[in-house]
Amino acid sequence: MAGKHKSNGVSPVSTSSPIDPFLADQGVLLLDGGLATELENKGYVLDTPLWSAHLLSTRPEAIREVHRAYLEAGANCIIAASYQASIQGFLAGGWSEDEATSLLRTAVILAQEARETYLDSRPLPLRPLVAASIGPYGAYLANGAEYRGNYGVSKQALREFHEPRWEILTSASPDLLACETIPSFQEAEVLLDLLSQTPHQFAWVSFSCHDGEHISDGTPIRDCAALLDDCEQVVAVGVNCTAPRYISSLIEQLHAAMSNTEVVVYPNSGEVYNAGTKTWQGTSEPLSCGPIAREWHARGARLIGGCCRMGPAHIEAIGAAF
């Protein structure tokens, strides 16, 4: 859906979305899976408020290895380890502001490095994309607020949180931004405003949802889709970090509200996290991902991947379905 009509009055430097070549060639853009949960599967303990972002300082090679694993699984787009990263979070963890700035840029650079070394070993006609993750304010709070959206703060406070990180991440030249796990309509408005002020940048916006019709703060996802549909810089709107059983309904809701924008979905595995035992309950078979991904594609999703507990085997199974 290239050449969308703009409502923000600002044209991107390029009117060609970075996802267009993949959709023209393959009909789908295959995203990666969960980063932090894959690091945990490899034995890394992520018990700090910074979650996987802590490894940007202590074990950057581990992050690079996970990016490489997703590329080898067939992902066309890898998402940088900046979801939990923020200037405020790093400062609280004892880093200086200069160090925090460097670590945010490192998140994008590690993904770019993983892509280049992968392409050195396996040249591809289309270069995989690197998306810089823009996690919600709730991820910084580290109290589960990204699944509720009840921040109790003003738009100005949200802007003051997001703007420094936004400027740093975009300066690292990602192919696009992944504004993800957004639980709040108000926060989506703030991110859209920041996007309009960086006219060279493309982004997708995906929400955390608690049922088949509403994002986490209770706003109908149709309203969120309508807000974003006319912005040319928004290449896709959708859902992530949400139970798979809600995805088909949410795709229908998104399509009902949008005429110009692709749909992105990358749900969790369906397993449930038990905070008391700090364990995941349930199972997720990679081979089951292919058929359900085909169903989502048939309903209109064009960017498809996985989030928490969805690893390289799941992404490979999704890719094999297309």
Please tell me the predicted confidence (pLDDT) of residue 192: 98
pLDDT tens-place string over residues 99-131: 999 999 999 999 999 999 999 999 999 999 999
Question: What's phi and psi for 36, nearest 5 deg?
Answer: -65, -45
Please tell me the predicted confidence (pLDDT) of residue 276: 60
Please tell me the predicted confidence (pLDDT) of residue 54: 85
Q: How far apart are CA 224 and CA 232, in angstroms?
A: 15
168: helix, coil or strand? helix
Question: What's phi and psi for 170, nearest 5 deg?
Answer: -70, -30
Positions of the chain with pLDDT lower than 50, given as ranges: 2-3, 5-13
* CATH of segment(s) 20-320: 3.20.20.330
Spans of all domains in the chain = 20-320
Helix (H) or strand (E) holding 182, with range, is: strand 176-182
Please tell me the predicted confidence (pLDDT) of residue 228: 98
